[in-house]
Each structure stands twice: as C-alpha cells, then as structure tokens.
Homo-oligomer: A and B are copies of this chain.
C-alpha cells in the first residue's frame, strides 16, 4: 500500500504546532512533547532565526506556543514577536525571564510562564556547596592533593568557619529562601534585601544592598536580572563588603559588575568568590584561573538529572493549560 505522502495526499496536521528553542532535551522529554505537539525545532532546523520564524508563521497552522530555553540563547523580543503574530504563549525553561521582553509580550497579550520552583532547591544546594567550598578551600585543597603536594608541602592552611557568619542574601524569592533555610542549619545569621520587607520571615531586612553588604560577611546574589538589579553588586557594594567578605553568585552574571569583582579580588579588597554565572558566558575572565580563593562552575547550579522530570511535568502542564484555556501553573504574565 502506498504511504499517504507517496500517494500525494496532504495530511491535515492533527497536533498543534509548538516552537521549540532548546538544544538539550532528553529523549523522554522530547517524546512527551512530540506525542502532544508538532515540534518546530529551531536548533534542529539549522536555519537563521528570522528564516525559521518566517517559515513557521507561513505554515497553514502557525504556532500559538513556544518553549524557549532559559538563559538567553534565544531572545523573545519585539522582532521575534512581530515575526510570529499567531503566538499567544511563551514558556521559559528557566526561572529567569530576562531573555523575554515582558513589556512587548504584555502589549500583545502574549502569556508567559517559567519553570517555577523546579530549579530552586538545586540552585540553593549549589550555592551552599560553593560557599562551603570557598570558606573551607575544598577545590583549592583538592588541586593541592591531586598535584601530589601533600607529602611534599605538609599541612594545608586552615580555612574559615561557616557557623556564625552573617550571610546577606540579595533577593529572598524561592531560591533565596531555600538558601536561608539551609544556612540556618549551619548556624549562620541571615540578613536580606529584597524589593520589600517580608513579614513572614525572621531575618533582618536591609532596604538596600550597600547597607546589607556593610553588615555581612558573605553576600549571596539570588535575585532575577532586570534593569534594577543589573550590576547590583558594584564597586561601592564590594567596598562595603570589605576585605574579609565573600561573594556567591548563582543569579545572573550581569547582577555583578564582573570587571570590578575581578579587580577587587586581584587587589585583595574582598576575600573570595563562588561564581556559577558570568557576564559573558561561556567566557570567564582569565585572571580568575590563577586564584585559589575563587570557585567557578559553568552555570550548572540550576539543574540535576533528578530535576529533569520535574521540568518536563511543569512544561507540559503549562502548555496543556494554555491550549485548553485554563490558568497557567507557573505564570509570569497571564490573561
């Protein structure tokens, strides 16, 4: 029997179209989406973005929804939205939505959802791990052992204690709150700054980052990136944190003025840093490579093998809600 394609018949699309902008998608996640939607996969297409979007918009069933990778590899801006007027919903597989122009989405009535709290625990765990690493010099001591220096040079210098450290958290959202909860178990004193004072938490609130830094031994950047939080850790804040202070950044690279941070580390004006994010990823300032008081990971705080199924459930749950006109599960903008 001839196949439908060979017989020349055009099969009507049964499944709604879905724009997909995510390179790394494990097989079971892709299969789960593929059972529900006709996937228009940007990275598999090999096409430039404008060509890909124009092609999708010109199809008989233009896509109403898009799944966009978190972190900014693809930007959903006015040009993107103009190219696909059929779009009604954008799901970001990240928690941050700085790669999505919410103003332009709002103007067009495009709903936006994000990954919600899927990553929060993983990011919080990684932040605590990096703080212990910087204080107790784990990665540096690791290099010392692997280079065979222990028998040659003897005892490794003492690290610093985590207990009783005053940890100032910038942004007490899901992630910041989980970091606070974990660090309390180590006997840390938790301070925070946030858009507003939270009545429900027992931690001391500071109305601005500068005052928070002045009173803290450690600053943890756990806020979203937007115009108010770009370079929220700048030269003045580093100065206020002081020469015994430590910066942990699991937010976005651009939350910290990286050039000033590198300069402060080089000149010993702060004591150390744990950085999972950088201003120009995957580029990392080469000056950091020789510093033993810096721990650097390649934007991996966000995700573990175990969290993949949570992300799959959250993605599909939001798409199904959108297509059936129900409330989004983890809305950022909804109508």
Contact = CB atoms under 8 A, between A and B. Distances in A.
A301 B155 CA distance: 12
Contacts of A145: 284, 289, 296-298
Interface residues of A, number: 57
B139 A304 contact: no
A161 B307 contact: yes
Nearest to A301: B136
A325 interface: no
Interface stretch (A178-186, A232-240, A257-265): A178-186
Interface stretch (A6-14, A127-135, A198-206): A127-135
B296 A159 contact: no
A83 interface: no
Interface stretch (A36-44, A54-62, A107-115, A146-154): A146-154
A304 B158 contact: yes
Interface in A89-132: 121-122, 125-126, 128-130, 132
Nearest to A159: B304
Contact of A160 (B158, B281, B297, B304): B304
B300 A136 contact: yes
A24 B155 contact: yes
Interface in A53-95: none
A282 interface: yes
Contacts of A281: 150
Given A155-B24, A289-B146, A126 B132 contact: yes
A138 interface: yes
A125 B300 contact: no
A254 interface: no
A272 B237 CA distance: 39
Q: How many copies does the complex hold?
A: 2
Contacts of A185: 181-182, 184-185
A327 interface: no
B187 A284 contact: no
Interface string A168-193: 00000000000001101111000000
A142 interface: yes
Contacts of A296: 142, 145-146
A307 B159 CA distance: 10
A12 B301 CA distance: 65
Interface of A: 24, 121-122, 125-126, 128-130, 132-133, 135-139, 141-146, 148, 150-151, 154-156, 158-164, 181-182, 184-187, 281-284, 289, 295-298, 300-301, 303-308
12 contacts: A130-B138, A133-B138, A136-B301, A145-B284, A146-B296, A148-B289, A150-B281, A151-B282, A155-B298, A156-B300, A161-B304, A164-B306
Given A125-B186, A141-B297, A160-B305, 19 more contacts: A121-B186, A129-B132, A133-B139, A139-B139, A142-B297, A145-B284, A146-B289, A148-B289, A150-B298, A151-B283, A154-B282, A156-B297, A156-B298, A161-B304, A161-B305, A163-B306, A182-B185, A182-B186, A184-B185
